[in-house]
């Protein structure tokens, strides 16, 4: 290791006369343009809603954005996506990635594996709540908060609030090895986040119980103390983490468990759904298939890359991240001169064991398998126009081959093609990540790209398997 570090230092010395990358506290021209563009669009929409409401709202945003949300929250459910709102949401996500990564970098927020784990817990929370909305658990005053894209804005408010509270109250003990300081940090976070968990339950869950007067409450009664235990357990296990990420993963995990216990309640004693639909079966085997196969793939990827990941951690470099101050152009122009640097020697395999890559692989495969099982075997439909086009093409292939509908589906199988496309997509994403190098100032960009991929992959995949398991 000493020799490799010496080699790394020698290689980095070659870049001393090169132009340094922009300081992390400064915005690039693209980031400035994106921020001002967002400000301009927001101002235009705000003024339009005030002074030209019919154009901007009645004939504009309302039929594209709000009406599908209202329909989805109603008894009909699943309004689906149109090409217009799909393009709008995709553009919004892209702009948010560019703007937020710049803001997060300037605020010096963490963008490491710990933060990735913390954010994953919140990505899981979204489908947990969404499936409960699909089961008509939440009353009509609340269910619109659990419909995409509002649910992501709603949870973002909880996330920012949790991060702010945890950082303000406990960051002063970050990095301390003193037992008393660790106990103070744990106690403060547990009491504060415990109260926040109670507020979360009071605002979302408690008002909805009145909508189901005949609902059995065994599992939901057990759920809250178990969630408190999970909150405490995560705080203990993550004692060395910064207060911000520690608070995020503890609260995200606890609220996810709280929601899952409401799933268990529905499995044990389904409540009356608004649509009047009667739950007929709640198959568990699809969950083992949809979650198990991606887990096996991720396990072998982790095994393949774990040794290089461990060696990488000993070098104090991050996989795929260039040494501080070195630009991507200078690194690429160096060619073989950097071949012996740990970033080049270890990054490719190390990234295969990285939480970012593993989460993307699991999420995309989960979405693909869940869609295949739900549509081809149980007769569910697809909301997204692009995905539906792929599925319809698969149905056409199946019809040409004379394949009949399977199990509860009324159409020949077609989502199998979607699963194959997802597998190819995730392979391309993995290849891109292991080959891609980013500057130090770009690590927040990389993390938010992963988060966006998880929101459109892992979240809908978990929702699909949740709906299938609960039969909603």
Give dist(CA 24, CA 104) in Å, integer. Answer: 10
Whether residues 82 and 148 fall in one domain? no
**pTM, entire model:** 0.91
The reply to whether 445 falls in a domain is: yes
Whether residues 458 and 326 fall in one domain? yes
Whether residues 396 and 362 fall in one domain? yes
Q: Which of 247, 272, 297 is the last residue of a domain?
A: 272
Whether residues 169 and 37 fall in one domain? no
Give dist(CA 428, CA 415) in Å, integer. Answer: 20
Task: Provide the 3-class DSSP secondary structure of residue 51.
Answer: helix
Q: Provide the pLDDT for residue 131.
A: 94
The reply to whether 434 falls in a domain is: yes
The DSSP result for 52-67, as a single string, is -HIIIIIIIIIIIIIH
Give dist(CA 226, CA 208) in Å, integer. Answer: 20
* Residue 472 parent element (H or E): none
* Lookup result for tokens 């995730």: 426
Q: Tell how far CA 77 is from the center of its chain.
A: 23
Whether residues 323 and 225 fall in one domain? no
The reply to whether 230 falls in a domain is: yes
Closest CA to 126 of 87, 154, 103, 106: 154
Give dist(CA 411, CA 395) in Å, integer. Answer: 7
Whether residues 311 and 376 fall in one domain? yes
Whether residues 258 and 167 fall in one domain? yes
Whether residues 447 and 339 fall in one domain? yes
Give dist(CA 11, CA 405) in Å, integer. Answer: 61
Q: Provide the pLDDT for residue 303.
A: 96
Give dist(CA 354, CA 199) in Å, integer. Answer: 34
Whether residues 13 and 89 fall in one domain? no
Q: Provide the pLDDT for residue 76.
A: 55
Whether residues 177 and 260 fall in one domain? yes
The reply to whether 123 falls in a domain is: no
pLDDT in tens, the chain (472 residues): 445 555 888 898 889 888 888 888 899 999 999 999 999 999 999 999 999 999 989 988 889 888 888 777 665 556 667 788 888 888 998 899 999 999 999 999 999 999 999 999 999 999 999 999 988 899 878 888 888 888 999 999 999 999 999 999 999 999 888 999 999 999 999 999 999 999 999 999 999 998 888 889 999 999 999 999 999 999 999 999 999 999 999 999 999 999 999 999 999 888 877 666 666 677 888 889 999 999 999 999 999 999 999 999 888 899 999 999 999 999 999 989 999 999 999 999 999 999 999 999 999 999 999 999 999 988 888 878 888 899 999 999 999 998 888 888 888 899 999 999 999 999 998 999 899 999 999 999 999 999 999 998 899 999 999 988 888 8
The reply to whether 288 falls in a domain is: yes
Whether residues 247 and 300 fall in one domain? no
Q: Provide the pLDDT for residue 2.
A: 44
- List for the chain the helix, strand, coil content (%; round to 5): 75, 0, 25
Whether residues 297 and 231 fall in one domain? no
Neighbouring C-beta atoms of residue 421, cutoff 10 Å: 17
The reply to whether 6 falls in a domain is: yes
As for how many domains the chain has, the answer is: 3
Q: Provide the pLDDT for residue 155.
A: 95
The reply to whether 85 falls in a domain is: yes
Give dist(CA 41, CA 412) in Å, integer. Answer: 45
Q: Residue 188 sits in which domain range? A: 137-272
The reply to whether 191 falls in a domain is: yes
Q: Which of 240, 272, 304 is the last residue of a domain?
A: 272
């Amino acid at each position: 290791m000493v020799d490799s570090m010496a080699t790394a230092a020698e290689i980095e010395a070659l870049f001393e006369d090169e132009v340094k990358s922009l300081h992390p506290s400064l915005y690039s021209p693209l980031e400035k343009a994106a921020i001002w563009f967002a400000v301009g669009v927001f101002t235009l929409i705000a003024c339009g809603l005030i002074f030209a409401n019919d154009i901007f709202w009645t004939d504009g945003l309302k039929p594209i954005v709000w009406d599908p949300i209202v329909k989805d929250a109603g008894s009909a459910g699943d309004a689906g996506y149109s090409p217009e709102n799909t393009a709008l949401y995709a553009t919004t996500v892209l702009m948010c990635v560019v703007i937020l990564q710049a803001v997060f970098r300037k605020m010096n927020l963490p963008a490491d594996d710990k933060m990735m784990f913390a954010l994953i817990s919140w990505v899981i929370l979204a489908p947990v709540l969404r499936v409960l909305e699909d089961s008509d658990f939440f009353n009509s005053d609340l269910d619109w908060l659990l419909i995409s894209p509002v649910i992501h804005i709603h949870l973002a408010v909880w996330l920012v609030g949790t991060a702010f509270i945890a950082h303000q109250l406990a960051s002063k003990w970050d990095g301390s090895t003193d037992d008393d300081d660790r106990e103070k940090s744990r106690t403060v976070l547990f009491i504060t986040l415990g109260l926040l968990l109670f507020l979360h339950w009071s605002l979302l869950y408690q008002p909805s119980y009145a909508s189901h007067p005949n609902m059995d409450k065994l599992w939901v009664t057990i759920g809250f103390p178990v969630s408190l235990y999970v909150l405490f357990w995560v705080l203990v296990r993550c004692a060395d983490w910064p207060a911000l990420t520690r608070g995020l993963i503890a609260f995200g995990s606890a609220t996810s468990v709280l929601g899952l216990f409401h799933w268990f309640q529905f499995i044990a004693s389904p409540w009356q759904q608004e649509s009047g639909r009667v739950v007929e079966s709640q198959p568990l085997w699809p969950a083992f298939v949809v979650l198990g196969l991606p887990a096996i793939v991720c396990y072998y990827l982790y095994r393949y890359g774990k040794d290089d990941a461990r060696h990488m951690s000993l070098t104090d470099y991050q996989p795929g991240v260039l040494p501080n101050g070195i630009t991507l152009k200078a690194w690429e122009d160096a060619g073989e001169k950097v071949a012996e640097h740990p970033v080049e020697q270890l990054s490719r395999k190390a990234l295969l064991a990285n939480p970012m890559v593993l989460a993307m692989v699991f999420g995309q495969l989960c979405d693909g398998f869940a869609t295949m099982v739900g549509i081809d075997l149980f007769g569910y439909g697809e909301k997204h126009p692009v995905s539906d086009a792929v599925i319809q093409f698969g149905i056409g292939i199946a019809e040409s081959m004379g394949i009949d509908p399977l199990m509860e589906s009324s159409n020949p199988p077609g989502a199998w093609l979607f699963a194959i496309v997802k597998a190819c997509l995730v392979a391309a994403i993995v290849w891109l990540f292991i080959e891609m190098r980013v500057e130090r100032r770009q690590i927040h960009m990389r993390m938010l790209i992963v988060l966006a991929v998880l929101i459109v992959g892992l979240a809908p995949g978990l929702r699909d398997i949740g709906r299938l398991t609960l039969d909603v």
